[in-house]
Amino acid sequence: MKAYVLNGIGDIALRDAQKPELNGDGIAGRNGQTSVSDDDCVILRVRAAGICGSDIPRIYKTGAYHHPLIPGHEFSGEVTETGSNVPSDLAGKRVGVFPLIPCMKCAPCRSGHYEMCRSYNYLGSRCDGGFAEYVRVPASSLIELPGNVTFEQAAMLEPMAVAMHAIRQCGLPLSPDDKERSTRIAVCGMGTIGLLAVMHLKGMGYDNIICIGNKEFHRSKCLELGIPSDHYFDFNTDDPAAGIRELTDGEGADYYFECVGKNAAISLGLNVLGASGALQLVGNPASDMTFGKDEYWKILRQQFTVTGTWNSSYRHSPDDDWNLVVRSLEEGRIAPENFITHLLSFEELGRGFEIMRDKTEDYIKVMCHM
């Protein structure tokens, strides 16, 4: 088969690779990470795969946990083979893939919080992932797709579930009543996760959302989502803190989502939250994170709730993040395909890596279909 194989930092290319088979190799676990027997796996023909922002430093700066590795953890496809412990009628099914492989033994796993597993494996970063024609996947990672959900939409399930997890983590109602719909919500960082969070919030019925980005391109996407023009602020050219105070009559925001991972974005949140506000940390840190003394006092005196989040939950339960997102897609309440700015052929995916690395074009989700 063909696959994008990462042989070392910066050394990635479309190459011939061994097609995975259910012949006993299984998914290897290294340094205490979870391993999975072929009996519990399927072979998936990849039909769509998206590039995550985390793939770019993995490919060009830090490398992976081991090499060679096939990256890619945002993908969907069609089951072609099933292991001996997997129901055979799963063959031919259209599926999305939860890329985190939990150990099922540690305390978080035993309580169903697989996203906090202490010895997880991960498709595309710790074992081979979806930038290939075929991939070996644990059957427990699969979520079947309704007929009206496309492979391209399903390849965005992972970032959509991450955004959903953040919304649920800070306690926002998923079905707000008339009063709750006017809750003052600020989202800072209009990358993929920030925009998907705004999309979810709009789909749930929230109508008082303030967005902070740093590009005219971000502004245009927020307007497409139905955000009023006076509810968007550019971090570089506007004064978001003053603008948010004016929009909220000096009361401040009730919730603030930090989707950037920088000190300045956290500081803005601590300065625009109202009393008893909630600061939801989502962005992966770009550097060390620090609180100034005055900011720390605000947390104490205004009795802020500060919550972290990472990844998403998938427990094969109707109320987990992945099933909630699939149901939103099936019901037509969200349209993540509107954020696919580059839909490439599999052979062109390398150009997608370079666009995201060099930032030569505006993009949100760069994806290939096969």
Give every CB contact of residue 340 below 8 A, 6+ residues apart in sequence: 50, 152, 156, 364, 365, 367
Question: CB 176: neighbour CB atoms within 10 A?
Answer: 16
Identical fold between 2-144+335-369 and 164-308: no
> Which pLDDT value is given to residue 30?
80
Give the residue ranges of the chain where pLDDT is below 70.
none
- Measure the CA–CA gap between 97 and 103, rounded to whole angstroms: 17
> Which pLDDT value is given to residue 34?
87
Domain ranges of the chain: 2-144+335-369, 164-308
> Which pLDDT value is given to residue 149?
98
- Measure the CA–CA gap between 146 and 327, rounded to whole angstroms: 9
Say if CB 273 and CB 251 are below 8 A apart. Answer: no
3-state secondary structure of 282: coil
Token duo for residue 68: 């060679």
Q: Is the peptide bond prior to 68 cis by the omega test (within 30 degrees of 0)?
A: yes
List the beta bridge partners of residue 12: 6
Fold of 164-308: Rossmann fold (3.40.50)
CATH code assigned to 2-144+335-369 = 3.90.180.10
List the beta bridge partners of residue 138: 41
Say if CB 44 and CB 80 are below 8 A apart. Answer: yes
- Report pLDDT digits (tens) over 116-144: 999 999 999 999 999 999 999 999 999 99
> Which pLDDT value is given to residue 331?
97
> Which pLDDT value is given to residue 287?
86
- Report pLDDT digits (tens) over 285-318: 988 988 889 999 999 999 999 999 989 999 999 9
> Which pLDDT value is given to residue 286?
84
Q: Convert 291-302 to b/e letters by CB count within 10 Å (16 or more is b).
A: eeeebeebbeee
Question: CB 18: neighbour CB atoms within 10 A?
Answer: 10
> Which pLDDT value is given to residue 291?
84
Backbone angles phi, psi at 287, to 5 degrees: -160, -170
> Which pLDDT value is given to residue 31?
79
pTM over 0.75: yes
Query: Is the Cα torsion angle 84, 123, 306, 206 positive or negative in sign?
Result: negative
Say if CB 362 and CB 340 are below 8 A apart. Answer: no
- Give the amino acid at 41: C
